[in-house]
Amino acid sequence: MALVLQIVVLLVVLIGLITIIMSIKNWHWAQMVLVLSIFFMALATLFLGMETFRIHRNIRKAIPGLEKKLADVEEENRALQYGARNEDPAVMRIWTNEIFGGEAPYDPEAEGRMLSTTAWTTRLQDLARARGRVWRNALPAGFDQKTSRVAVTIAPQQQAPPVDPDLAAAEAPADPAAPAAAPAAAQAAVQGHGLTVDAIVYAFENGAPNPAAPDQAAQYIGEFRVVQANETAVILEPLQALNQFTGSRLVKSIQAKRTWSLYELMPADSHELFAKLDEAAKRSLLPAATVEEYIRQGTPATDDDDQYHRAAFDEAGNQIGADDAKADPSKVNQWRFDRPLRDYNYLFSELMRERVVMEADVAALKQQIADLATAQANAKKLEAHRTAERTALQQDKKFMERDLAFITKLLATINSQIANAKSQVSDLLTANASMAQSLIDKQLAELKAIDERSPAPAQSSLLGAP
């Protein structure tokens, strides 16, 4: 069609030019210029009209599709605002949207239908109440080593508007032709953080954890009590006495200028938090000592799993209590691995208590080791002294043994000399006795001879009786 139109236009142009040229002999040049001007202007007008028609045709061609998309989007918005059945085409389109990646953002079997934004808002409010308030991006500004208190700056919180935009949209009329609702009221003025004196908060560093080196990434800082508060800052005091480990961790976090998240309640553990994470994500978030429990959650249990890591399920996939499973084993369709949930509020306090006890035991052991080292040093000194004494005594023993040998030899010599002397004395006594007897005999003989030679006395002899 376009080609035919172009041929017709070309023929009209040729005929017009030929007619004008053939009429040049009968027309004035001014008439010729005027006619040519009118002719070319007519051609320009025709061209612009055709181009305008083409543009309008192309634009209007997309209008039905855009109107269909607009109707679908409005239908999807109404489904999101007011809810819809799972079989509704709008729900199907919402699921296949790139936002959800073809996966329903809720459990269709459990819910039965797609809930409205009002229902989701109510559930979020319930979750927020269960979680408690949270103060993000709190910046620790200073640490008093004497009192262990920390000054923390908290950004003021923006108070929610009096009218919830989601609820206002949900209450809007479904008819697009109906007048739009009045705009939501402007947000109220910025309010304070809302922390009061004696409030208890749990401080966590912001950022990703490092399971391989926990002290190199975001950590749990501790449990604190608010001792002072103003509109933009609070003074926090730790409930547990700081030791070398917790004090060093706190100071390091402040020096690194890491922001904190302050929780009104200790975050609760649940299986749903990790249910949609794949194995790689779990390994990147959790330490190697416990990650296997999170990976195995919901998988078939093994014989090595104890009673605290097993849960019974019926054919419908509902969990059965341990007592019911024990009372009626026929109800059990499958045993699955079930990770025990952790009470972090209790665990942190208990682990802190155990750490304090262990540190006290370590300090006592170190003192005992120091005492033993001192005793060992004294024992070594005494050993050295006794060794020196032993060496000296051994030297004295050698001298004494030498003296003993000399004395023994001298004693033997003396005993020999005594024996010789006794023998000589005995011989001398015998000789003396013999000589004395001989002398007596000799003297008696001499006396007898004298008596014999001498005259006899008048009365008696010298040798006679008186």
Q: For the chain, how big is the Rg over CA atoms in Å?
A: 62
Q: Can you tell me the distance from the alpha carbon of 109 to that of 102, in angstroms, rounded to the nearest whole number?
A: 16
Helix (H, G, I), strand (E, B) or coil at 171: coil
pLDDT (0 to 100) of residue 98: 62
Instruction: Give residue-wise pLDDT tens across range 361-403.
Output: 999 999 999 999 999 999 999 999 999 999 999 999 899 989 9
Using DSSP bridges, classify how beta strands 334-337 and 310-313 pair: parallel, antiparallel or unpaired: antiparallel
Q: 76 near 69, Cβ under 8 Å? A: no
pLDDT (0 to 100) of residue 96: 67
Mean pLDDT of 49-58: 85
pLDDT (0 to 100) of residue 373: 94
Helix (H, G, I), strand (E, B) or coil at 457: coil
pLDDT (0 to 100) of residue 388: 92
Beta bridge partners of 204: 220, 261
Strands (E), 192-349: 200-205, 220-229, 233-238, 260-263, 310-313, 319-320, 334-337
Residue 341's Cβ-side half-sphere holds a number of Cα atoms within 13 Å equal to: 11
pLDDT surpassing 50 at residue 162 = no
Owner of token pair 């006395």? 457
pLDDT (0 to 100) of residue 236: 94
Instruction: Give residue-wise pLDDT tens across range 100-129.
Output: 666 666 677 667 677 788 887 887 777 777
Task: Give domain limits for the chain.
Answer: 27-105, 118-159+192-263, 272-337, 342-451
Average pLDDT, the chain: 81
Burial of 296 (0-12, 13-18, 19+ CB in 10 A): middle
Q: Can you tell me the distance from the alpha carbon of 462 to that of 67, in angstroms, rounded to the nearest whole number?
A: 196
Q: 242 near 147, Cβ under 8 Å? A: no
Instruction: Give residue-wise pLDDT tens across range 296-324.
Output: 998 998 988 888 888 999 888 888 888 88
Architecture (CATH level 2) of domain 118-159+192-263: Beta Barrel (2.40)
Q: CA of 431: how far to CAs of 436, 443, 444, in Å?
A: 8, 18, 19
pLDDT (0 to 100) of residue 66: 87
